[in-house]
Amino acid sequence: MKTFFTFLVICIGCSYCPVLFSQDESTSASSEETIFTPTIHHPNIEAVTLFAQNPQIVTPVGIAVAPDGRVFVQENHTHKRTNDYRGPETDRILIFEDTNGDGIADTRSIFYEGHTFSTDLLFGPDGHLYVSTRWFIGRFRDAATKKKADAEPEKIIVCDTEGDYPHNGVGGLAIDPAHPEWLAFGFGENLGVEYTFVGSDGTKISGGSEGGSTYRCRTDGTGLTRQSTGHWNAFGMAYDLAGNLFSTDNDPNATPPNRLLHIVPGADFGYEYRYGRSGRHPLVCWFGENPGTLGMIGALGEAACGVIPYGPGKLLSASWTDNRVDLHVLQPHGDSFTASREPFLSGPDDFRPVHFSYSADGKYLYFTDWVKLSYPVHGHGRIWQVEFKQPVQMHPLPRTDAHQAVTAEESLVSLGSDDPYVRTHAIQFLTTHPEILLTHSFDAHPSSTARAHHAIALKRLDHQGQPSVIPKLLEDTSPDVRFVGVKWIADKGLTQFQAHLEQLLNLPDLNRKELRAVIASLAALAE
C-alpha cells in the first residue's frame, strides 16, 4: 500500500504520467475485443499484430511514429458526433508505447487534446509533428523529444471558409525526405463553398467551385502555391522515394472508381464541383478525356484514405470500404506512371484502414483502423503493427529534373504532345511566361491538340484569360478546340458569347459529346 501511495503522489505531481491500460474514461468506448487478424497477401510480411484496440483507442485517423518508436495517433471524437456520444468533447493526440518489445502497446498517454475534425498526422525529419484538421495545418515543435505538448500548435496554414463538413477540407500531409523543408497537403471539394488559404507569410490562395486541390508550402507555412485541381477529395498524399507526389482521390457520387493520381504543378484532374456532385456533367471528366486534364494512373479501392511508399517504385493505399490495404507497383509511362493494384492485407467487414506510418528503421508499419462502417464516431478503433521480414527501404533516391532547360519553341511544340503530362508541363511553363503565349497565335499550330492546349494556357493566364480568342475557338475545325471555347464560356459566365454557342447547334458534324457540352454551357449561362 505504501508503494502504491508513493506512486500516486508522484503521478499527481507530474505534468506527464503514462497510463497503464485500463477502461477508457470515454463511456462511449467499446470493450468489444477483436477476434481476427488481417489476411496476409505479401511474402515480405512476417506478422501482423494488434498493437492497440478499443477502449484504449477509438476512431483513430492520422498516425505518426517518432524516431524513438513511440506511436502518436489522432483519436477523433468530433466526426459527425451524435447527441448521445459520451466521449471527450474534442479530438486528442495519444502516444502509445511498447515498453517490453512484444509488439503490443502497454502504455498510453495524452500528448494533446483540443482539435475538431482531425484528418492527418506526420512527423517531419526536423522532429516537428505536423497536424491537420479540416481548417488548418499546425505543427508541434520538437514533439519527437516531448512527452506532452507544452503549447498549442503553431498554425502554419489556415483555411478561411464557412465549409464545415468533417473530412472534405484540409488533409493528406506529405514531406519529401530529400527536400524536408517542403510540405504538401490536400484539400477536398469543400462542397463548393468559397475558401481562402492563408500562409504564415500572408500569401493567400482562394477558390470555391473548382473541386478538390493540392498545395505545397515550406514547413514554416511560407511560399504557399497550388499544385493541382480537379480532385474530389485528396485525403491521402505521399512522396515516393524518387520525389514524385501522389494522392488518393475519392470519387463523386456517380463516377467510380477512386483514383490514384500523380501530382505535378498545374495538373487538372477534371472534376469541378460547380457542375454538380455526380461527376457526369458534360463539362467535367474523371479519366482525363477532356483537353487540359489528366487521368488516374491506377484505380483504388472504395473510400481510399492514406497512401505511403513501399520501397522504390511501389505504394501502399488504404481502402476504408473494401476492407483492405493494396500494393501498387509503379511502371514508368511517358512523363508519368501506370500503377497496378494487388492485395497486401485484407480483413472482414469491420477492418477499415485509414492512415500509415513506418518505424524509423523500416522494420514495422503501423496503421489506424476505424473499424465500423459508421461515419459518426462510435467508440471502436484499432492500431495494427505489420512486421516485415526485410525492412522497407526508406532512403530517398537520387533526383533528376527532366524539365529544367525548356525553350519557348520546345514548350509550344510540347502542347501537341501525345503525352498529357508533357502537355501539362508545357501549359504550366507557358502560364508563367505569358509573353511567349501572347506573341504566338493559337491557330498557327497545325496540330489540333496543340491549338486546344494553347487555348487552355490562355484561359489560365488570369481570371478572365483572353476571352477575345473564343470566337476563333468556336470556329475551329476540331471538336476538341471548340470544346475548350464552349467550356470557357460556361466556366466564366461569358454571356456575350451566347449567340456564338447557339450557332454551334447548326453544325452538321456536331457529335454527341459536343452537343451535350453546348447545351450544358447554354444552361450554365441561363442560371
d(CA 196, CA 335): 32
Instruction: Provide CB contacts within 8 A for 71, sequence distance 6+.
Output: 51, 63, 64, 65, 95, 96, 97, 105, 357, 366, 383
Give the pLDDT mean for 71-88.
Answer: 97
Angle among Cα 440, 441, 443 to the nearest 5 degrees reads 140
Give the pLDDT mean for 78-97.
Answer: 97
Please say whether the beta carbons of 424 and 264 come within 8 A.
yes
The pLDDT of residue 326 is 99
Residue % of the chain over a pLDDT of 90:
90
C-beta atoms surrounding 432 within 10 Å? 11
95-138, pLDDT tens digit by residue? 999 999 999 999 999 999 999 999 999 999 999 999 999 999 99
- Where do you find CATH 1.25.10.10 in the chain? 408-526
- Where do you find CATH 2.120.10.30 in the chain? 25-30+38-388
Distance of CA 120 to the CA centre of its chain: 10
The pLDDT of residue 18 is 52
The pLDDT of residue 13 is 40
d(CA 375, CA 367): 19
The pLDDT of residue 17 is 44
Joined grid coordinates for residue 148:
506532452
Please say whether the beta carbons of 59 and 377 come within 8 A.
yes
d(CA 233, CA 230): 9
The domain 25-30+38-388: what is its CATH number?
2.120.10.30
311-342, pLDDT tens digit by residue? 999 999 999 999 999 999 999 999 999 999 99
Q: For residue 9, is pLDDT > 60? A: no
Q: What pairs with residue 169 in β-bridges?
A: none
Give the pLDDT mean for 10-39.
Answer: 66
400-422, pLDDT tens digit by residue? 765 566 888 999 999 999 999 99
Confidence of residue 28 (pLDDT cuts 50, 70, 90): confident
172-230, pLDDT tens digit by residue? 999 999 999 999 999 999 999 999 999 999 999 999 999 999 999 999 999 999 999 99
Rounded to a whole number of angstroms, the CA Rg of the chain reads 25
Residue whose C-alpha cell reads 467499446 in the numeric block: 30
d(CA 311, CA 487): 41
The pLDDT of residue 7 is 36
Q: Average model confidence (pLDDT) for the chain?
A: 94
Fold held by 408-526: Leucine-rich Repeat Variant (1.25.10)
245-304, pLDDT tens digit by residue? 999 999 988 889 999 999 999 999 999 999 999 999 999 999 999 999 999 999 999 999
Please say whether the beta carbons of 484 and 456 come within 8 A.
yes
Q: For residue 503, is pLDDT > 70? A: yes
Q: For residue 44, is pLDDT > 50? A: yes
d(CA 246, CA 244): 7
| Integer CA distances (angstroms), 503 to 196, 216, 303, 462, 499, in order | 38, 43, 43, 27, 6
Q: For residue 364, is pLDDT > 70? A: yes
The pLDDT of residue 185 is 99
50-71, pLDDT tens digit by residue? 999 999 999 999 999 999 999 9
The pLDDT of residue 401 is 67
d(CA 343, CA 45): 12
Give the pLDDT mean for 29-33.
Answer: 94
Choice between 11 and 513, residue whose per-residue pLDDT is larger: 513
